Amino acid sequence: MGHYLVKESAMRRLIYALVPLSLPLMGCVQTSPYEPEIAELQAQEAQELGLTGLPVAEEIELGRQVAASQCADCHGIDKEDARRTDAPPLRYILADYDGDALAEDFRDGLKVGHPEMPQFQFGPKSTDLLLSYLMSIQEPDPSIHVTDEG
């Protein structure tokens, strides 16, 4: 038992001796030789053009404005739940509907099976803005259960 205590105290002394020696190294930060390239790519991504030819971030914000004015009263906005039980939350829309078909419906005039929903007809730009926003907020729909088969 005494042998164990000697090892433990020797280990403690070693740790106490090494800690002050390692403190100057803690301030050192290793930089990647690729940092300038990474920063340039990030800047390019920020200016990347979306469906309408606008920068993606601007397109998403404008699409959010379309959704806030036309869809949010029933479907909610961003991560909100739908305000109507018969309206899917916007964050799950693309799990339930094909994006291309939805875009076509937006352009041609969205018609649904219940009279409470107004008929919408968006122009091509508003449609693309709205879809950019919808794509940016999508989450897996928890009501859709995926099973492993095979």
Residue type, 75: H
Residue at 4 is within a domain? no
At 110, phi and psi to the nearest 5? Answer: -75, 120
Give the number of other Cβ atoms within 10 Å of residue 64's Cβ.
21
Residue at 36 is within a domain? no
Beta bridge partners of 127: none
Residue at 90 is within a domain? yes
Residue at 20 is within a domain? no
Residues 107, 51 contacting (CB under 8 angstroms): no
User: Alpha-carbon dihedral of residues 91, 97, 103, 104, nearest 10 degrees?
Assistant: -160
Residue at 24 is within a domain? no
Residue at 116 is within a domain? yes
For 54, the domain range is 46-137
Residue at 25 is within a domain? no
Global pTM exceeds 0.85 = no
Residue at 149 is within a domain? no
Number of domains in the chain: 1
Express each pLDDT in 99-141 by its tens digit: 898 888 888 887 666 677 777 888 999 999 999 999 999 998 8
Q: List the CATH number of the domain containing 90.
A: 1.10.760.10
Express each pLDDT in 15-42 by its tens digit: 655 555 555 555 555 566 778 877 777 6
